[in-house]
Structure 1
Amino acid sequence: MAGSPATRSRRRTQPSVGDERLFDRELEDLPPALRWREWMLRVEAVIFASAEPVDRETLARVVGKNCSIDLLIEDLREELRSRPYELVSVAGGWQHRSRSAYAPAIRASAAPTRGAAAALSEFEAMVLMAVGYFQPVTRGELSKIFGKEVSRDTIGALRGAGFLSSGPRSPTPGAPYTYVTTKYFLSAFGIETLRDLPDIEGLEDAGLLSRHVVVSVDDFDDHVVDDAEAVEDGD
């Protein structure tokens, strides 16, 4: 898994008005082929340097106003086809990821990896998976799913790692807090949106998760929050 926890301090450089005026986005003095090549290199450099997925708006700041970001990404992916890493779409942006075929070599090397996600216990991983499917969900509802208490420490660990954020208050008595996943959750697990999560029926068949404790089969689709709400940044 790759990405950077929401709790980690980030240094962001905000371009000044002067910088934007000096920076040549259009490159009109270059021939079309060289202009396109330079735009490709700029986009790749920005994605490579970023600790988190880079969205379209960010990339648009370094290329011409009529440049197609999608075509640039397509050309970059083709160029990286023979490399051990690739450009992937995750969490509403693009990010460099090592190809899965090289995971054994990376693990065997024991080399520290960039932006490695926090290691989760088996139970923490199961709780995180349940939140992914049932969000927004309360700690009490999670406890019912697992048949035992999901402690505040468990939720705190997942929040601290950047995977969870507070959602809307539940309409149930006491109005407890609910929990939702963050953009870092999508990035760490290499998925674009919550729609890319594995089919819950397959997890049920494998005995890994049951949705019937919290919601019925018919209500499940209505229970899943919109992607924009589900991936709001945590505290």
Structure 2
Amino acid sequence: MRDPDNIQEMKQILEAALLTSPQALALDDLLKLFAGRMERPTLRMLLDELKTDWQDRTLELVQVATGYRFQAKPEYSEYLARLNPERQPKYSRAVMETLAIIAYRQPVTRGDIEQIRGVAVNPNVIRQLQERDWIDVVGQREVPGRPSLYATTKHFLDDLNLRSLAELPPFEVFAQAEIPLE
């Protein structure tokens, strides 16, 4: 039986949970591991220590919008991509422009997007972003017709390794980026 009062044991418990979780774990989830016997500041200190412990290894502990997760360091992505040799599809320019407008101007309506882009938005573009769980309807604008308001999701932030929208790159860089579908 593990001794959850020992600092090293607590770090190992956190490490095991983070390494085996299929998604990022929020601070509240990580606190559950210790059944109310740990405070947030202690947990944050242990996570910082874990991050330091792993800095010379192939994985890194990162904080994203939904919590903390381990992921391979970027320098290994070329090699890991060989395990899944199919060419990953890329988003079209229309999809990237639409996503950029939503990310930087949210919440926005389809009409807002069309006004900014200067062309009609293909319904498949919105559907594709919703299926990817990068955008969602967050309400309706209080005007005739009550058009849907779109905003990005936490999943979007997680996929881009961001903690918040404030970490987004400049609009021009984002709009020209090639982000894989999978």
Q: Same fold (TM over 0.5)?
A: yes
TM interval, shorter chain, is: 0.7 to 0.9
Superposed counterparts of 1:80-229, under 5 Å: 80-107=54-81, 109=82, 111-112=83-84, 119-200=90-171, 203=172, 208=175
**Paired letter, 1:96:** F
Q: Name the counterpart of 1:8.
A: none
* Same amino acid, percent of matched pairs: 25
Q: 1:96 to 1:118 in 2, by over 3 A?
A: farther
Query: CA–CA distance in 1 between the matches of 2:89 and 2:25?
Result: 21
Q: Secondary structure at the match of 1:54?
A: coil
Query: Could you tell me whether the CA contact under 8 Å between 2:31 and 2:38 is conserved in 1?
Result: no
Query: CA–CA distance in 2 between the matches of 1:65 and 1:172?
Result: 51
Measure how far apart 1:125 and its partner are.
2.2
Measure how far apart 1:132 and its partner are.
0.5
Query: CA–CA distance in 1 between the matches of 2:110 and 2:103?
Result: 13
Task: Calculate the TM-score normalised by the size of structure 2.
Answer: 0.83
Measure how far apart 1:41 and its partner are.
1.5
Residues 182-206 of structure 1: CA distance to partner in whole angstroms, max 9, x if unpaired? 1100100010011111234xx2xx7
Q: Secondary structure at the match of 1:148?
A: coil
User: Structure 2 unaligned runs (5+)?
Assistant: 177-182
Q: CA RMSD in A?
A: 2.6
Query: CA–CA distance in 1 between the matches of 2:158 and 2:113?
Result: 23
Q: 1:182 to 1:118 in 2, by over 3 A?
A: farther
Query: CA–CA distance in 2 between the matches of 1:103 and 1:82?
Result: 16
**Paired letter, 2:80:** I
Residues 66-110 of structure 1: CA distance to partner in whole angstroms, max 9, x if unpaired? 351111111111111111220111014111122122222223x2x
Q: Name the counterpart of 1:65.
A: 37
**Paired letter, 1:105:** Y
Query: CA–CA distance in 2 between the matches of 1:58 and 1:25?
Result: 19
Match of 1:78 among 40, 49, 52: 52
Between Structure 1 and Structure 2, the one with more helix by share is 2
Measure how far apart 1:133 and its partner are.
0.5
Query: CA–CA distance in 2 between the matches of 1:76 and 1:59?
Result: 13
Query: Could you tell me whether the CA contact under 8 Å between 1:168 and 1:178 is conserved in 2?
Result: yes
Q: Name the counterpart of 2:4.
A: 27
Query: Could you tell me whether the CA contact under 8 Å between 2:2 and 2:9 is conserved in 1?
Result: no
Task: Calculate the TM-score normalised by the size of structure 1.
Answer: 0.65
- Are positions 1:40 and 2:11 aligned together? yes
Query: CA–CA distance in 2 between the matches of 1:75 and 1:196?
Result: 23
